[in-house]
Structure 1
Amino acid sequence: MLQLLIKKKGLELEKEDKQPMLTVSTLQLGVWAANGAGVVLAEKGHFYVSKDIFAHVQEASSGFAMQKFSASTLLKAKRTANELSVNSRAANKSLFINCGGDQGVFEGNNYFGDLQQNGISNFVLRNEAQWAYSSTGVYLGNADAGFIAQNTFSLNITGPDYYQNARLSPLSLNYYGLCLPKGNYKVKLHFAEIMFSNDQTFSSLGRRIFDVSIQGIRYLKDFNIMEEAGGVGKNITKEFDVDVDDGTLEIHLYWAGKGTTAIPDRGVYGPLISAIEMIPNFENPSKGLSTGVIVGIVAASCGLVILILVLLWKMGFICKKDTTDKELLELKTGYFSLRQIKAATNNLDPANKIGEGGFGPVYKGVLSDGHVIAVKQLSSKSKQGNREFVNEIGMISALQHPNLVKLYGCCIEGNQLLLIYEYMENNSLAHALFGEQEQKLHLDWPTRMKICVGIARGLAYLHEESRLKIVHRDIKATNVLLDKDLNAKISDFGLAKLDEEENTHISTRIAGTIGYMAPEYAMRGYLTDKADVYSFGVVALEIVSGKSNTKYRPKEEFVYLLDWAYVLQEQGNLLELVDPNLGSKYSPEEAMRMLSLALLCTNPSPTLRPTMSSVVSMLEGKIPIQAPIIKRSESNQDVRFKAFELLSQDSQTLVSSAYSQESMKQRHISEDGPWVDSSISLPSGDDYSSTSKLV
């Protein structure tokens, strides 16, 4: 029974027991359910729901905002629900809700959309399926926070698309399945933590803890999505069997004040849920469809499929695909739409171009959430680039380390192949050390030590600590990027190869950069992790001296920087290599340690080079360095020079036959940005940026 209490302006609406309910400022109609289920206020033909009208709640107060509905719609919904419950007719046999997302078909089931932006009480009536939700509370310190969560950090989430969004509530969140037949139901609750990051930043410290009750029974206490799922961006499903006696199934998620409230910012704590399934555990008699209806459905479906195929064909999405697309689609990386990338880079505006690599251009972009990204675009003309693109995304997606550039995801639409990385504010180590004057950075000695140790740790992870044993093959100053805090991160895994100990001889093309390749690899194609150790030694020399290995020739008789280093070692004047820009503001002991280690790493014999884990320990002073003295007159040194000269001659021949002068001009800017693919550097009188791809 409903009781109508009409009060004039400025008076109070009251229950039968005369307890105050809510002060109103205009002539309103108060509708109070006799069973105390909720409060409804009406004004100018609309109802306002201050609390959920489908379950018992506490007394309403003026501190809560109210959601407006059409009076006729609400009364019709209430009347329909009562009739269905009384007559035991099922408007719902199963119910699927995409919480915080749009309607759609997932795993063969039709999910209702749940895109209401407000977090207060709401009622939804959808033909033969009725459901509702209510949300209570205001976020502490951020009353304007939204109640729809998106995959903020572009996390790598597998499973249906409904894990990309979710509904949030600051305190209490209720979902109701209405007009359900009496019986036992399987309730599936889908969760994925998408509001915290999975890196080592402040955003990764958030903790969400809440309780879950169904039909008034608490099934989950202190539920932590991230802990249960095994990490951020991983989905988990909780299943329960519950009974429905009165036509209504209630799911209640409640925040009891546990966990964090301000990480990554205020307005992301409280209950969070991605999707809900309510499936009966019993058979329901149903009328079969007539032949005419079935024929109509089949015809309409076929027509729709044909229409979609025609549209896709006209838009260029249906064409002969390279196997690269299939390989990329199988990779478990974060996915970005082309629309997102174009919006972030202003439609790939040349003004946002920060470099040019062997694959193609690299752009700086800003996502809608403010994250700055670097977008590497694969040139559709380079089949070799396509293969290396697949290799690169496969390698990086399996690697997570503070000294490796983080891959956020990829974009594959039409003929567009793009990689999305974290953006490095300070460009490459090459620019910082020996770029143009306006590009160079003042790197003090502690920073140079930190960069050198960071590179060593990254390589140690690739060689020894990761699940896959990987040889980078192209360690050089250009492929070491610097973030805003000048931390070193290794980039460009386009030439990375799995370290197959039983098959170390590479019979295919040799790829790398002159001056950084180990002699055994350059001369014989013999590839092990010791090739990376050699390249690291060259980079360490460059860090200490501030000079490029292939560009610096103090005298005509010296071929390159490493040659000069061995001369100074024989003379006992190795510290003359230290960058003059440092003046006296460096540690001679640490400089001598780094230079001796660099010469040890560049030993012509790969077996005499240390492992990268040993290199880290030597740099940190945990173990001593025993660098053998190698004289320039020894035969091993001749091998090094022959490799250098051979590669120089081969690269000149290959480039002249494979590229026109125009294409060479386009590659002159390949080291202007931090994203430069593995290459053979051609000695010339041009500036430092002249490179060319070895095919």
Structure 2
Amino acid sequence: MKNTKQKNLIENSFNKNSTSESGQDYLQRGFKCKNPMYTSLDINCGGYPWSTYEKDTNPLGPSSYFSSSNGNWAVSTTGLFMDAEDHKWIVTGNSSEFAKGIYTEVYGTARCAPSSLRYYALCLENGEYNVQLHFAEIVISNGMTFASLGRRIFDVYIQGIRRLKDFNIKDAAGGSYKVVIKNFTVNVTENYLEIHFFWAGKGTNDIPVKGTYGPLVSAIRITTNSKINGTNKSNKSMIIGIVFGAVIALGLAVCLAFIFIRKRAKRKSGSYETKNDKGLTDMDTISNTFSLEVLKNATGDFNPENKIGEGGFGAVFKGILPDGKMIAVKQMFPKSRQGNREFLNEVGTISAVRHPNLVELYGCCIEGKQLLLVYEYMENNSLARSLFGPEEFGLKLDWPQRYNICLGVARGLAYLHEESKLRIIHRDIKATNILLDQHLNPKISDFGLAKLFDKEKTHVSTRVAGTIGYMAPEYALKGQLTEKADVYGFGVVVLEVVSGRTHTEKTLEGEMVYLLEWAWHLYEKKRLLDLIDVNLKSSNYSMEEVLRVINVGLLCTHGTPTLRPSMSTVVGMLEGKIEAHVSYSRPPYLGKQQVDMDKEDLSSHTEILSLEGPSNISSSI
């Protein structure tokens, strides 16, 4: 026993600053990646492929390593389990112990190590990344049994810096077979990222966790936060020039193509076309390509004082054209390749649709490294600023104004989903992407993440992009996208409009922190009117209309996408033409319901736990 423990602690101390010799040889080659290309990574530690997560099922052992087939990640282990005949570097839990809605494909298995476990993300583009570590204790049980007496304690280092000390999964999660997710921001400067789980000799190392006592992790997710700086690309200027030139050329081709199409458009159905002062139809205004000089003059050379918003891929400036017309100019960040894709997507999507509740794109500018989009100017900025911004920006919206905003957004989405020649899913419906004109008419903006969708398909599987809090569970977790993802986001916005608060308020306590959870709590307690913004309670409003709108918000956030109403149905509900009646209990992804509902009123539903998507994208025009 003494010799084994001494050997383990020696290896433990050594492994804190190094890996096995054979593993180090491989990893050094990986660190010197000649072509960094990756900006994300999902690993199902100890498990098989699932959704976007790659499998990690190699058994490994003492002083072992494994590298993925495409060379984008590797894992190494070091150490010997003390006095254990059956060494387990991969452990499997009892799936039935998990609460419903937790994905056992991810959390039912985990990789374990006796002393040191390292994961490496290789060939990453340099920049800032978000690291999510997913844990669930599946060895040490709950309750007052012998198997529950063990304690698993370890440290976590990222890029050599200790980020968690004496971490105990069971304590952090509030019990065994419960999920806890830890988030970190990490800067990558040498094209690799190291995550080191390290047993420092604390906790139980014998019965009842004999052979499985070391660090344990269920899944790892690494995503860029869109601040890639391209440090290692200085030696590849020629390649960059070619790639960037191709992107610019493609963007120009898209712009010119739409100019050509618009000038020759002979659509006579134009129920949304109006004449401007020059006698041109709005359909023709997209034909504009602006010079950089004109837009610089309009915005005061992009003077910070004219900045009216900033998102993940660009800043937005107020401007005035020589003819006195107000515009909003979005200047894409020059180093963001994802911003280039958003630019092309925006031009290609919003140019193809026209509706009073969609923001209008006047044109674009492509000169040098500048990518600029020119929109109609919205005098009252975003709905988010009106509802949640500083008091000096607050509009103190009354109930009729809030109701009309909800109805206008619903009509805009119904057009995108069902009435337009193209079926378009916005993917980022939130209060910051709903703009208000001088008359407080709402217009949906920011189509950089929009997707065209084939009417014959039930859903598309795509990389998750959007904003946490507004993303539907099935999309955030599985990447399964339908127009019902927009319906979900709309439901969250509706509840924000009624309550006058954001979807998450960390300053509050208990169920009030999360708006959806609070709304369902009030629904179960038959106190839905307590959800109404206190700023409205002193004004006159129709109680029936407010309750109808709240019910629409609850219906739109159902856990099962097929049971959410279509947006045309939502319009009918808001107008009072279709009954908006909630006939089921709180969605399982919000936790256990507080009261027993009438079983006859319950509708079948899917239970989903979100793993959180990689991106938290915010933009404003």
TM-score when scaled to structure 2? 0.52
2:388 matched residue in structure 1: 434
* Structure 2 Cα separation of the partners of residues 424 and 472 of structure 1: 19
1:202 deviates by 6.8
Q: 2:291: which partner in 1?
A: 337
The answer to whether 1:613 aligns with 2:571 is: no
Unaligned runs of 5+ in 1: 1-155, 164-190, 207-225, 235-330, 656-666, 676-695
1:543 maps to 2:500: no
Of residues 534, 543, 552 in structure 2, which corresponds to 1:580?
A: 534
- What pairs with 1:343-354 in structure 2 (closer than 5 Å)? 343-354=297-308
Which amino acid counterpart does residue 473 of structure 1 have in structure 2? R
Change (3 A) 1:344 1:501: same
Shift of 1:490: 0.2
Could you tell me how far 1:507 is from its partner in structure 2? 4.5
Instruction: Give the counterpart of 2:342 among 388, 405, 424.
Output: 388
What is the deviation of 1:641? 9.3
Aligned residue for 1:404, secondary structure, equals coil
Indicate the larger mover: 543-552 or 480-489.
543-552
- Say if 1:615 and 1:505 are closer, same or farther in 2 by CA, change over 3 A: closer
- The one of 436, 444, 455 aligned to 1:490: 444
Q: 1:595 maps to what in 2? A: 550
| Cα distance in 2 between the residues matched to 1:192 and 1:629 | 48
Q: Residue by residue, what CA displacement relative to the aligned partner does 1:119-147 show, whole Å, maximum 9, x if unpaired?
A: xxxxxxxxxxxxxxxxxxxxxxxxxxxxx
Cα-to-partner distance string for 1:154-177 (whole Å, 9 max, x where unaligned): xx86499xx9xxxxxxxxxxxxxx
> Would you say the 8 A contact 1:505–1:526 is kept in 2?
yes
Q: In 1, are the aligned partners of 2:422 and 2:452 still within 8 Å (CA)?
A: yes
Q: Secondary structure at the match of 1:580?
A: coil
Q: Deviations over 1:606-634 (max 9, x none)?
A: 11111100100110111111222314668
Structure-to-structure mapping, 1:65-104, within 5 angstroms: none
Letter in 1 for 2:492: V
Deviations 1:369-407 (A, max 9, x none): 100000001112011111121011100111110000000
Cα 1:640–1:362 change in 2 (3 A) is farther
Gaps of 5+ in 2: 1-257, 594-604
Distance 2:554 2:607 in 1: 15
1:405–1:422 Cα contact (<8 Å) kept: yes
Counterpart of 1:596, as a letter, is: N
Distance in 1 between the 2:321 and 2:314 partners? 21
What is the match of residue 318 of structure 2?
364
Partner of 1:449: 403
**Within 5 Å, which residues of 2 pair with 1:128-207?**
158=260, 203=276
Q: Does 1:627 align with 2:587?
A: no
Name the aligned partner's letter for residue 370 of structure 1: G
- Opposite residue 342 of structure 1, the aligned amino acid is K
Matched, 1:378 2:329: no
Q: 1:513 aligns with which of 467, 470, 477?
A: 467
Matching of residues 30-69 of structure 1 within 5 Å:
none
Aligned to 1:413: 367
What corresponds to 2:352 in structure 1?
A: 398
Aligned residues: 349
Does the aligned pair in 1 maintain the 2:587–2:607 contact within 8 Å? Answer: no
Bigger Rg, structure 1 or 2: 1
* 1:361 counterpart letter in structure 2: A
Where does residue 416 of structure 2 map in the other structure? 462
Deviations 1:431-486 (A, max 9, x none): 10011222211100000011000000000000001110000011000100001110
Letter in 2 for 1:360: G
CA separation of 1:159 and 1:455: change in aligned 2, threshold 3 A: closer
1:554 CA displacement? 4.4
Deviation at 1:578, TM superposition (A): 0.5
Distance in 1, matches of 2:304 and 2:296, equals: 12
Aligned mates of 1:159, 1:510 — CA distance in 2: 32
What CA distance in whole angstroms lies between the structure 2 residues aligned with 1:393 and 1:634?
A: 36
C-alpha distance in structure 1 between counterparts of 2:261 and 2:338, whole Å: 32
Opposite residue 370 of structure 2, the aligned amino acid is: Q
Answering whether residue 434 of structure 2 is matched by residue 480 of structure 1, we say yes
| Partner amino acid, structure 1, of 2:324 | G
Query: Deviations along 1:399-433, whole A, 9 cap, x unmatched?
Result: 11000000000011121110000011101000100
Write the letter of the residue equivalent to 2:371: L
What displacement does 1:487 show?
A: 0.5
Any idea what the Cα deviations from partners look like across 1:329-374, whole Å, max 9, x if unmatched?
xx97421111211121122222222222222221111000100000
2:479 is the alignment partner of 1:525: yes
Matched residue type, 1:364: K
Mark the CA change 1:335 to 1:484 in structure 2 (over 3 Å): closer, same or farther. Answer: same
Deviations 1:551-608, CA, capped at 9 Å, x for gaps: 2674324550100111111111111101010124221010000001110111111111
Q: 1:201 Cα shift? A: 5.6
Counterpart secondary structure, 1:459: helix
- CA distances 1:27-48 after superposition (whole Å, capped 9, x unpaired): xxxxxxxxxxxxxxxxxxxxxx
Matched, 1:569 2:551: no
Separation of aligned partners in 2, 1:416 and 1:398 = 23
Q: Distance in 2 between matches of 1:471 and 1:233?
A: 22
Alignment of 1:2-17 (within 5 A): none
CA distance in 2, matches of 1:553, 1:641: 28
Could you tell me how far apart the structure 2 residues matched to 1:332 and 1:427 are?
Answer: 22
Q: Distance in 1 between matches of 2:587 and 2:518?
A: 10
Task: Report if aligned partners of 2:511, 2:518 keep a CA contact under 8 Å in 1.
Answer: no
Q: Which amino acid aligns with 2:434?
A: V
> 1:199, 1:370 → 2: CA distance?
24
Question: Contact between 2:461 and 2:481, CA under 8 Å: does it hold in 1?
Answer: no
Quick check: 2:462–2:481 contact (8 Å CA) kept in 1? Answer: no
Structural mapping, 1:209-228, within 5 Å: none
Distance 1:606 1:159 in 2: 36
Q: Is 1:518–1:531's contact at 8 Å kept on the other side of the alignment?
A: yes
Question: Matches of 2:578 and 2:478 in 1, distance apart?
Answer: 33
Give the alignment's Cα RMSD to 1 decimal. 3.3
Q: What is the one-letter code of the residue matched to 1:491? A: S
Letter in 2 for 1:436: P
* Structure-2 change in CA distance of 1:552 and 1:441 (3 Å): farther
Mark the CA change 1:589 to 1:406 in structure 2 (over 3 Å): closer, same or farther.
same
Which moves more between the two structures, 577-586 or 406-415? 577-586
Q: Is the 8 A contact 1:352 1:364 kept in 2?
A: yes
Question: Measured at CA, do residues 383 and 560 of structure 1 come closer, stay the same or move farther in structure 2, by a change above 3 Å?
Answer: same
Q: Which amino acid aligns with 2:509?
A: K
Supply the AA of the counterpart residue of 1:422.
E
In structure 2, C-alpha distance between the alignment counterparts of 1:640 and 1:562, rounded to whole Å = 17
SS, match of residue 407 in structure 2: helix
Q: Does the Cα contact within 8 Å between 1:158 and 1:332 map onto a contact in 2?
A: no
